[in-house]
Structure 1
Amino acid sequence: MELWNFYLSGILYGICERTKDCVCHRPLDVHTGLFKEWEELTEDETWYLELGKMNVRHILLKLPDYEAGISEVTKEKAARFTTPSGEIYERKSKDSFVQRNIKFPVDLITEEGTVVAFVTPFRDQCAVLVKEGFEDRTILNEWKTINETPLFTVKPPVTEMVAMRDNIRLATDIYLPEGAGRVPTVLVRTPYGKTIGTAAYYRFVQRGYAVVIQDVRGREDSEGEWLPMYYEVEDGDDTLNWIAGQPWSDGGVSMTGGSYLGYVQWAAAASGNPHLKAMLSNVCAGSPFVDVPRRGGCFNSGMLAWAFLVSGQHANPELMARDDWDDVLNIRPLEELAPKALGYDIPFLKKWLSHMDYDELWQRGNWKERTGASRVPALIMSGWFDDNGMGTTEALELYRDYPEKKVILGPWLHSGNASYDPGGLALGSNALRYDMDFICLAWLEHYLKGADNGIDRTPKAEYYTCGSNQWKTASNWPVPETKELVLYLDGRSEDAAASNGGLLTTDSPVHESSDSYLYNPEDPAVHLIDMSENELEVPADYAEEEKRSDVLCYTTECLTEDLTITGDATAEIFLSSDCEDTDLVVRITDVDEDGRSMKLADGVLCVRYRNQFDHPDFMEPGTVYPVKIRTTKVSHTFLKGHRLRVTITSSAENFIFPNRNTRDGFNSVAIKTAHNRIHRGGSCASRVVLREEM
């Protein structure tokens, strides 16, 4: 009998037996701590998919295909093989392979050509399906010391309607470890439904934590108005106080979750509540005008899929997938967009549109601005291509001088630690990590239970450098071992648009020159994403887009040695226009020997907000204005023979609604074509400031 064991975060959740054409299993009953009787694992069984993104039945039945592929590459001394079902595998080491070109890969660990384990990393978790007896060949070896402590069983959840300070009640599920007494709590606050994905939180209860999962205000079974970000500081504060007052609570709370579930952590922390002892912050959303929905004062059209998802009382993922996004994005005024696209209004979207400038509505949701002197030990996780990456930038800026933090920044999308090939960027076989959940638990054990496990003595920053495909460590973020690298926009007048002939130089041009382009809001440049995927910062090849006459390109000469930049960048642009308002979009790309121009970072700004977000400063036609734009962060090595490119344009369709170059901006019915001019050299030395690793 060949037994395979399924683990998530070091905990055994299922025992499987494989025969030639059948898989049987004994899943764990978390409420009794016992394994159920043997039964066939059918197509309809979703236990392992819900827990660990693994289709265990399919994987085990395809075992001969994997081993045939391994035999083939070993015989041919090749690097890759493809299974009959189209799965692509690349050798990582003598005894391991990674799965390419897929979200939630199933990696292989082998011994003498035989597969002994399958591993799927995803965001801050990792699932392992391992042949019995080979556990030490996997990340499970790291879990040995933690697993010496017996696991608790999970009591069936109890639902409470928890009253906030204004008497609005929020639906709250409580999961407790049986017989544990007073315990610390892991709090999850979600707009997507407190009963969605609950299996992923059993691991905390089994290790001696209470888990509290709450529908945020106005969502699912909770009362009140659903206005994203507006109530989360106060509601988070009240919920923490409620938890601390419960007879099963020892008073200490950590929060966990990603995206909006990351946002609510920082909002709760902004309240200064003393019961919040730790945070597991993953791809957290930031303040409205720095991150979403009004990044740089523009309006993120790319977040419409999310807005549709949460447009009703209950989250509906089916509303995100459309084939008519191009038509939807062109609806004006935007107040009519939801009624025409969905057949009903979205109240929070309508309210957002009625507040053009940064006012009280947006200020209430700005956790960074509302945070006082208090700090909470935070494990901060994100990726270079996370569409909420600016939120993590704000968190890192806020906690720059705070010692009780750890940051892990990978080459990941918003979906996190889940793909070796985000967009068109092929990463190294080391790009994904199997230890994220181990680090998360260590953080909780240290800051909630006082365990001296050394997590506080590990490097403050761990980050991945694309291009050279290396994981690195640093004593802080931003990485101290960097220096300023300034690249000036240069070249002959108009070359940047006419032939992509603009230059980037380290010397400031003596004489003033300029490049101009015609920006027509009815023919915007495109931001290369699939709206339905709800991933807004995908790295992609922009070479074709850069051939447009309204995209200015400034490029270094071919590099004679590798160049590594780490951190975010600031574009300091001198702009004039014949319109009162327009947008600026800046991208940093890596141009390889074949001419591919891969986007690494970007920044956007509605120019009326070049001085402040709470008050527009419209342009006088023909006057030159200095404009600063902060980009997303990245660590990337531009290899010898490659070139670094900076592009400037005024639109990014799919990402932001095109500015129509009027005082009504992105929501204007009237349209103006803008003649925009970028000035450079002399007293108008437009430049980009980066951080180069030393």
Structure 2
Amino acid sequence: MTAGVFSLLLAACTSSINHSKKTEMEGHRYAVDISMRDGVRLHTVILLPKEVSHKAVHLPILLTRTIYGADDITHQMDDQSGASPFDGWGRRLVGGPYIRVLQDVRGQNRSGGEFVVTGPLAHTADNHTSTDESTDAYDTIDWLVHHVAEADGQVGLIGTSYDGFTTLMGLIDAHPAVKVTVAVNPMVDGWRGDDWFHNGAFRQLLIPQIGADGKHVDISLPSTVSEQARAFLHEGSAGDFGHRHGIDDVVFWREILAHSAYDSYWQARALDRVLSAHSLHVPLMLVHGLWDQEDIYGALAVWKALRPQGRRADSMFLTIGPWRHAQALEDGSAIGALQWGQDTAAWWRQEVLKPFLAHYLKGTPMNVAPVTAFQSGAGQWLTFPDWPPASTIRPLYLLPEHKLAFTAGPKRMHTLGYRSDPAHPVPFMPDAGGAVSDETWLAADQRFVTGRNDVLTFTSDELTHPVTVEGAPVAHLGASTSGNDSDWVVKLIDAYPVDSRQKPGVSGALMPVAMDIFRGRYRKSLEHPEPLRSGVLQPYRIVLPEVSHTFQPGHRIVVQIQSSWFPLYDRNPQRFVRNIFLARPTDYRMTYQRIAVGGPLASHVDLPVMDDGSVPLSRRLTVGPDVSPSHP
């Protein structure tokens, strides 16, 4: 045992008895319960790398404050692989060595206190006694830098998903020891587009998770989409489903039912808003996945919120990868049927994350650009000085006869229509096996809905030159419904040519580039929903998830429009009710939907198109199957 380890144990057991409680020791793994300013103890696991047993070294700390179980994660970690489902920040992945610290947030696993889902900021400049994830991070770091003798006084915060939320909260009134932060696929706004809602539509497939988190109610869903759909259809509304499965007493479920609109409850928890109201000084890297099926909103929302503060090349960094949720920590060779010819996640960890952390925690030089983005369709990493890069907005028009073109349609109004029946909603992914799963459905071939009469599909001519899109496509729909409420789902798709040389699952496929849903009642106000005017064409502006993609020559661009995405999202009754969670069976009505394909409300998708389909070599990091690219 080194002198430093002995000092740690001594501090935990004697002089710091009022601040922490030692619970166990297993080799180089130590667990302590650290007291917060209100006396609540948080279970904390400290991993010391092998280097500290050979010589007196002082190392930076990498801290993750987690809901996923510090004990479970650290028992799976080792100095060689660092592999575990939600962490993955081991030595092999990010260089090092570092002292790794994982802590159960209050109210979770072995920590005391009460857990509040994405709790709002509670402390203020005049109130230092109230606690939140920001103060808990500060108190934890303060203890660590004073009691872990092997630590050199520098701390990095790093986390994924919910732990990305706690990482970002640690930026607010950050402890002076915090030198760098990395938030991967962070939960930022649970109503706008992370986890619970997307633009007001509720992700009801998360009800089992809500029940388990709240009171350990075991809600088992069937394994196939069609069986899940039947189960939700049988129960009625999402509120009825939750009630019949016994989660009415779960605090967070009650809050969701009471706050179906984007009111002050959600706005206080919108972390991009919260961060923009504070002065932040710690370098931050945000990591976004192009096909993140859980938290596709948060990372780029924070980037946009902080960008006006002038945080850019010196302290603000962004990675956009071709990944599902948390795939940056795993194998990044493919998502669904899309294969990149390289392990994109391993490349990013080695060439971007590793030097980034080492630079701010160890002072080593780095050559990491403000923005590193993978361009799907072209299969290459690019760097940019900013995001989104300079581009030209080109409207892509929905035309009669289900055509799609960059030239406007007829000046006179034309419409195309379909019936939307809540009793037969459009599925969000196919039932067939193979590459598609509940993790990769955002990358699922959309041919499975093209034969339905409640989905409109618009297709361009075959492209003769590449079309490169960098940024957020914005759908402008002129739409009407015979009811007085409606959902609108918009999909931007890359239609691959039929080619026997393509890999299985790609030839002839309709591969999604960006898809999202918008609940019509929020057309004018996210906070104050109101009925739609029945049968009247009205304009909608629907911002799709950000893309970095090249539509190649020989491909076609496709846009699909529909009014349900089931059972992932709850059904809109299509009759306005004050709270859709409380909709009765008689509220669900079949409606006739119309989409304008000409005239003053002509529907179109604004694409941020690079002026030239090519990218200067000075910004190109890796092309195609090259798995060992060099920096530009």
- TM-score class, shorter-chain normalisation, is 0.7 to 0.9
The 8 Å contact of residues 207 and 242 in structure 2, kept in 1 or not, is answered as no
**1:392 counterpart residue number:** 299
The code of the aligned residue for 1:172 comes to T
The partner residue of 1:520 within 416, 421, 424 is 421
Aligned pairs for 1:22-61 (under 5 A) are none
The partner residue of 1:187 within 50, 58, 63 is 63
Change in CA separation of 1:573 and 1:276 when aligned onto 2, cut-off 3 Å: farther
**1:370 counterpart residue number:** 274
**2:623 counterpart residue number:** none
Change in CA separation of 1:273 and 1:526 when aligned onto 2, cut-off 3 Å: farther
Change in CA separation of 1:203 and 1:519 when aligned onto 2, cut-off 3 Å: same
* Partner Cα distance (1:658, 1:427) in 2: 35
Tell me, what secondary structure is at the counterpart of 2:567? Answer: coil
**1:510 counterpart residue number:** 411
The code of the aligned residue for 1:281 comes to A
Q: Structure 1, residues 175-208: CA drift from partner, whole Å, max 9, x if none?
A: 4564868754322111111112212356399946
The code of the aligned residue for 2:43 comes to A
* Partner Cα distance (1:270, 1:575) in 2: 42
Tell me, what secondary structure is at the counterpart of 1:197? Answer: helix
- Structure 1 unaligned spans of 5+: 1-30, 33-152, 496-500
| 2:361 pairs with 1:452 | no
**2:580 counterpart residue number:** 665
| CA deviation after TM superposition for structure 1 residue 432, in Å | 4.5
| 2:44 pairs with 1:172 | yes
The partner residue of 1:298 within 201, 205, 208 is 201
The code of the aligned residue for 1:279 comes to T
The 8 Å contact of residues 222 and 228 in structure 2, kept in 1 or not, is answered as no
The 8 Å contact of residues 157 and 174 in structure 1, kept in 2 or not, is answered as yes
* Partner Cα distance (2:443, 2:169) in 1: 29
Change in CA separation of 1:548 and 1:243 when aligned onto 2, cut-off 3 Å: same
| CA deviation after TM superposition for structure 1 residue 476, in Å | 1.7
| 2:295 pairs with 1:380 | no
The 8 Å contact of residues 157 and 170 in structure 2, kept in 1 or not, is answered as no
Tell me, what secondary structure is at the counterpart of 2:539? Answer: strand
Change in CA separation of 1:508 and 1:592 when aligned onto 2, cut-off 3 Å: same
The code of the aligned residue for 2:352 comes to I
**1:157 counterpart residue number:** 30
The code of the aligned residue for 2:115 comes to W
TM-score, normalised via structure 2 length? 0.76
The partner residue of 1:240 within 127, 130, 137 is 137
**1:692 counterpart residue number:** 609
* Partner Cα distance (1:644, 1:469) in 2: 18
The 8 Å contact of residues 524 and 652 in structure 1, kept in 2 or not, is answered as yes
The code of the aligned residue for 1:444 comes to L
| CA deviation after TM superposition for structure 1 residue 627, in Å | 0.9
Number of paired residues? Answer: 530
Tell me, what secondary structure is at the counterpart of 1:214? Answer: strand
**1:203 counterpart residue number:** 91
The code of the aligned residue for 1:352 comes to I
Change in CA separation of 1:435 and 1:335 when aligned onto 2, cut-off 3 Å: closer
Q: Structure 1, residues 645-685: CA drift from partner, whole Å, max 9, x if none?
A: 11111111133111111323355223111222222322212
| CA deviation after TM superposition for structure 1 residue 306, in Å | 4.2
| CA deviation after TM superposition for structure 1 residue 154, in Å | 7.1
**1:284 counterpart residue number:** 186
The 8 Å contact of residues 239 and 581 in structure 2, kept in 1 or not, is answered as no
Tell me, what secondary structure is at the counterpart of 1:621? Answer: coil
| 2:156 pairs with 1:254 | yes
* Partner Cα distance (1:407, 1:398) in 2: 13
The partner residue of 2:260 within 352, 356, 369 is 356
The 8 Å contact of residues 529 and 536 in structure 1, kept in 2 or not, is answered as no
The code of the aligned residue for 2:357 comes to L
| 2:117 pairs with 1:228 | yes
* Partner Cα distance (1:251, 1:360) in 2: 39
* Partner Cα distance (1:196, 1:272) in 2: 27
Change in CA separation of 1:361 and 1:273 when aligned onto 2, cut-off 3 Å: farther
The partner residue of 1:405 within 316, 333, 337 is 316
**1:426 counterpart residue number:** 339
The 8 Å contact of residues 142 and 175 in structure 2, kept in 1 or not, is answered as no
Q: Structure 1, residues 509-555: CA drift from partner, whole Å, max 9, x if none?
A: 32211112211111111111789955265311112302211111222
| CA deviation after TM superposition for structure 1 residue 584, in Å | 0.7
**1:487 counterpart residue number:** 396
Change in CA separation of 1:169 and 1:646 when aligned onto 2, cut-off 3 Å: same
* Partner Cα distance (1:264, 1:207) in 2: 23
- Identity over aligned pairs, percent: 25
| CA deviation after TM superposition for structure 1 residue 261, in Å | 1.2
The code of the aligned residue for 2:200 comes to G
TM-score, normalised via structure 1 length? 0.69
The code of the aligned residue for 1:221 comes to R
Change in CA separation of 1:666 and 1:689 when aligned onto 2, cut-off 3 Å: farther
The code of the aligned residue for 1:383 comes to G
Q: Structure 1, residues 335-366: CA drift from partner, whole Å, max 9, x if none?
A: 44346457886432232122111223212321
**1:35 counterpart residue number:** none
* Partner Cα distance (1:620, 1:187) in 2: 52
The partner residue of 1:679 within 579, 593, 596 is 596
The code of the aligned residue for 2:542 comes to I
| 2:325 pairs with 1:414 | yes
Computed over aligned residues only, the root mean square deviation of the Cα atoms, in angstroms, reads 3.3
More strand by share: 1
* Partner Cα distance (1:182, 1:232) in 2: 33
| CA deviation after TM superposition for structure 1 residue 272, in Å | 5.8
The code of the aligned residue for 1:461 comes to V
The 8 Å contact of residues 162 and 171 in structure 1, kept in 2 or not, is answered as no
The code of the aligned residue for 1:407 comes to L
Change in CA separation of 1:655 and 1:357 when aligned onto 2, cut-off 3 Å: same
Q: Structure 1, residues 110-169: CA drift from partner, whole Å, max 9, x if none?
A: xxxxxxxxxxxxxxxxxxxxxxxxxxxxxxxxxxxxxxxxxxx9743132143355x544
| CA deviation after TM superposition for structure 1 residue 325, in Å | 2.7
* Partner Cα distance (1:440, 1:363) in 2: 31
| CA deviation after TM superposition for structure 1 residue 320, in Å | 7.5
**2:102 counterpart residue number:** 213
* Partner Cα distance (2:245, 2:465) in 1: 51
**1:642 counterpart residue number:** 555
The code of the aligned residue for 1:214 comes to Q
* Partner Cα distance (1:206, 1:624) in 2: 57
* Partner Cα distance (2:531, 2:550) in 1: 39
The 8 Å contact of residues 464 and 635 in structure 1, kept in 2 or not, is answered as yes
The partner residue of 2:532 within 619, 634, 647 is 619
Q: Structure 1, residues 417-451: CA drift from partner, whole Å, max 9, x if none?
A: 424331232333464534505633432332234x1
Q: Structure 1, residues 481-526: CA drift from partner, whole Å, max 9, x if none?
A: x2212112221xxx4xxxxx24333225322111122111111111
Change in CA separation of 1:563 and 1:193 when aligned onto 2, cut-off 3 Å: same
**1:596 counterpart residue number:** 509
The partner residue of 2:353 within 440, 459, 463 is 440
| Greater Cα offset, 355-364 or 516-525 | 355-364
